[in-house]
A and B are shown apart, each in its own frame.
Chain A
Amino acid sequence: MSGPSSPAAALVDANGATGVDAPALEVEHVSAAYGPYRALFDVSFAVPAGSITALLGSNGAGKSTVARVVSGLVASTAGKIKLGGTDLTGKPAYRIARAGMAHVPEGRAIFGNLTVEENLVMAFRQRAGRRRVPESLERAYQAFPVLGERRKQAGGTLSGGQQRLLSLAKVLVVPPRVLVADELSLGLAPVVIEAVYNGLREINRAGTALLVVEQQVDRALDLASEAVILEHGGVAFAGPAAQALAAMEGVLAGRGTRPQP
């Protein structure tokens, strides 16, 4: 979709002023809760710059909460979040987004009442700037022709897979510094998942560090170089993706005999 010398890649370089030393994203001793329901307990990990990190774990382990805390949608109750070395803990979500964070939430993450084009324009105005909107739209339609065919259609009338492509197109065209992709493959047909994953590889090649939240373990590990496994709101494993499969099997097998809290 976009070569290494594309304007998008240049934009990332301009953003990545802090260099390659600092990890793209650092999560340090973070806890979080939804009202009385505590969801995360002292979670720490880092996403190295330019890497792809898979965030794995069973349902309810806290994967989506990590994604929301990182993007500022849910406030952490303790700990620090750093983006490229800059502390962004407690900042509103739009500030974190402007600092180079993109979060594709799970489920329906588009505006159902806005048209496809309006959905894209909303994102590109902030990410690419007003002047680059037409050009970005053009590239989005090139990458996802199905969106081009439906540019005047309300987002809510798209199929689940097309909605997912739309939310991906919003971030793929103008690569951010860090992309948090939450359960992108959820409920999608295998072919569409393949397209989505190719898109993720593409954006990573353009310099974006990825945090990929997934239930499909082997697919995610195939993509990622690093992996974090969450279990009951805490980190059960953090390390190279190559070792994660064994750890994941261990977590699955050990479910009945987990250590008591």
Chain B
Amino acid sequence: MAHFIGYAIPGIPYGCTYAIVAVGLVLTYQATGVFNFAFGAQAYTSAFVYTKLVQDDGLPIWLAFIISVVVLAPLLGLIFDRYLFRKIPNTNTTAKLVTGIALFVGIPALLPVLFGSANQYNSPSILFNPDTVYFRVANTPINGIYLSSVVITAVVLIALVILMRFTNLGLQMRGAVESRRLVQLDGVNSGRVIAIAWAVSSFMAGLAGVLLAPIYGQLQSQDYATLLVAAFAAAAWATLRSMPIAALVGILMGVADTVLQGYLPASSAWSAAVLPSLPFIVLVAALLLVPGMRQLHDDEDPMASVDPPPPPTVADTRAPQLGRVIRILWYVLLAGFIVSMLSWIPQNWESVFNSGLAFSAIFLSITLITGMGGQLSLAQATLAGVGAFTAAELANHIGLNYLAGAVVGALLAAVVAVVLALASLRLRGLGLALMTIAAAMFFDNSVFTQIGQSNGHALTVQAKWVGLGILNANGHALFVLSMIVLLVCVLGVTLVKKGTTGRYLTAMRGSETAAAGIGINLTWQRILIFALSGVVAGIGGTILTIQQQSVNPEQFNYQLSLAFVVIVVTTGVGSIEGAIQAGMGFVVVQQLLTYLPARYGGSGLTFVLFAFGALTYAAHPEGVLEFQKRRWTMRFERLIFRDRSSTDDPGSPDGRDDGATAGVRAPLGPRSVDGSYAGVATPDGGISS
């Protein structure tokens, strides 16, 4: 027993950190209807600013606290509400999720760009001194960190339960989340109530961030992200409803972690593999076992029929002639790209474009599952990693040719995807997103890291594994391989998209009810699209590792899974062009940013740019880039057919007007049509859009 207590007590501060964030998540969900993926990022922002103000600008702690937590945090929440979430109908789960994920990816990347990227250490504590041991319990020293976390968790939990259960504002919040319209009929200004809810929950996030900062030696956004996902598990067991249950599960998870650590042999594979993924196992268990998580979207707004149907997107129809012109342009661009890659493009840019081709393949898997299947999966980098690690391990241990291994890896990725599909058959929207992110973190923490560590962190892809002399420095072999693989993937996805499967999936996105009503087996189609997506992701992952000549857990971590979604959503999740633009855009932007001062370089600003694009998802679900393209294509089309219309109606005053603008815009037209974004062409112009 003494052993047990000795093991359990060190887990309490960690458990409290899970608890405090889980409670914050439940609060946001209960008060605004948004499952706030940005919660961890908001906490990090306040912690970052707070630490910076104290350490770099020498402000007193209390002033830094007021600025970062009392002012900045609620302000951030109000901005999110006013400019992002208020515009999204409460029933549009996907848009709420994508917006949250964009913030999750964008904010931590933006902060170093704004304030410099120096890592920060030893954030000052505002309550207790972390280094002082105040007293001992069962021989365990209780220092300031323990006290801070326990006291703060208790205070926050009590305050929030009082707010939500016993105040008029809490009552109005709980009503407004159920139906923004119905509370209005009771004379409640629902807009104001929701804004206050955002301010309060964001204040919570800021408070949590600043209070937790001293617990981590170094202030890193990853810690807050991981903490957030662990908190998902606690929130899920509470069905996103009960704050005390969320807190309790959070604390239990922290305790279970250290207790297991104590009892399991330190060096066993169990403790190495299971412990880091404990929160994700708890999350998956909640998704499978808690019935409420399957019915999250069942209690819909009783007044939903009052909302008008969503506005139609910009028309996606072009004149046949223009379609032909665009298709020819794509082929010309493809040919030009291939010739250029084989002739004059410098080595460093060639490898940039090569990795763009590999990323394009991975992003195609998102086109399949999200664009065609209509399911938001947050595990696509993981599926790519399954392919890559399988091929590498097979080559490493049994000497299987890497390309043959890629096929096995792709199939294994498909198996993992099918298991995911089966596990989440009854989940939609948020439930599915949580299930996939749990899978991503499980592989990230337990599988990939284990394989990586057993091989000395990263596996070097050796020339003999690949064969064909691809890794020999004879120039273009890598390009030829990547190009062929991508073209095969594009061809396959194109065929599936315009084939029966693609049409069934289009029908299911339009109406699952009616799709089943004409005889489509929804379950089978869903499993099929998960499997296909796994295959394509797995292939893309192996090609990427051949190019980079190493297999590395960091290439496939869960943050990348989220970032990938943000990138593809920006360029257009519905089309094959979108995936290629995403792949090429991602690497080209990254490369271009290396020419800027170091502070802006790296992937940070790239993620910020794409995150900004993804924030427009609610307004442009077809992708903001795709939206602009369609707009320009329409203008271009009008320009071409201006001649005919002006012969039809020569007296039209509009004719002259158009002519004037045409003179200005003509040079822009072709540039936007032929895909200058990606610098690469695909032969699918006529099909995908």
Contact = CB atoms under 8 A, between A and B. Distances in A.
B184 A92 contact: yes
Contacts of B185: 71, 73, 93-94, 97, 102-103, 105, 109
Contacts of B183: 94, 122
Contacts of B650: none
B75 to A, nearest CB: 24
Nearest to B177: A113
Given A92-B189, A94-B190, A122-B172, A73 B308 contact: no
Nearest to A163: B302
A156 interface: yes
Contacts of A126: 186-188
A147 interface: no
B174 interface: yes
Contacts of B178: 111-114
A170 B186 contact: yes
B261 interface: no
Contact of A156 (B168, B299, B309): B299
A63 interface: no
A36 to B, nearest CB: 7
Contacts of B179: 111
Contacts of B181: 73, 93
Contacts of B184: 72-73, 92-94, 97
B607 to A, nearest CB: 36
Given A34-B308, A71-B185, A97-B184, A113 B172 contact: no
Interface in A59-109: 68, 71-74, 92-94, 97-98, 102-103, 105, 107-109
Contacts of A113: 174, 178, 299
Contacts of A71: 185
Contact of A97 (B168, B186, B191, B299): B186
Interface string B154-183: 000000000000001001101100110111
Main secondary structure of the interface of B (DSSP, over half): helix
Q: Interface extent on B, as a size class?
A: 20 to 34
Interface string A150-179: 000000100000000000001000000000
A98 B171 CA distance: 18
B151 interface: no
Contact of B303 (A97, A102, A105, A114): A105
B306 interface: yes
Main secondary structure of the interface of A (DSSP, over half): mixed
B174 A107 contact: no
B444 to A, nearest CB: 35
A125 interface: yes
Contacts of B187: 94, 97-98, 123, 126-127
Contacts of A259: none
A127 B185 CA distance: 11
A35 interface: yes
Contacts of A202: none
Nearest to A107: B302
Contacts of B308: 33-35
B306 to A, nearest CB: 5
Given A93-B184, A118-B171, A122-B186, A36 B302 contact: no
Nearest to A125: B168
B190 A68 contact: no
Contact of A122 (B175, B189, B303): B175
Interface string A32-46: 011111000000000
Nearest to A105: B303
Contacts of B182: 105, 109-111
A86 to B, nearest CB: 16
Nearest to A176: B187
Given A97-B184, A113-B299, A73 B306 contact: yes
Interface of B: 168, 171-172, 174-175, 178-179, 181-191, 299, 302-303, 306, 308-309, 311
Given A35-B311, A92-B184, 18 more contacts: A33-B308, A73-B303, A92-B191, A93-B184, A94-B186, A94-B187, A97-B185, A97-B187, A105-B302, A109-B303, A110-B182, A113-B178, A118-B171, A122-B186, A123-B186, A126-B187, A130-B168, A156-B299
26 contacts: A71-B185, A72-B184, A73-B181, A73-B184, A73-B185, A92-B184, A92-B189, A92-B191, A93-B185, A94-B183, A94-B188, A97-B186, A97-B187, A98-B187, A103-B185, A105-B303, A110-B182, A111-B178, A114-B175, A118-B171, A121-B171, A122-B186, A123-B186, A126-B186, A156-B299, A170-B186
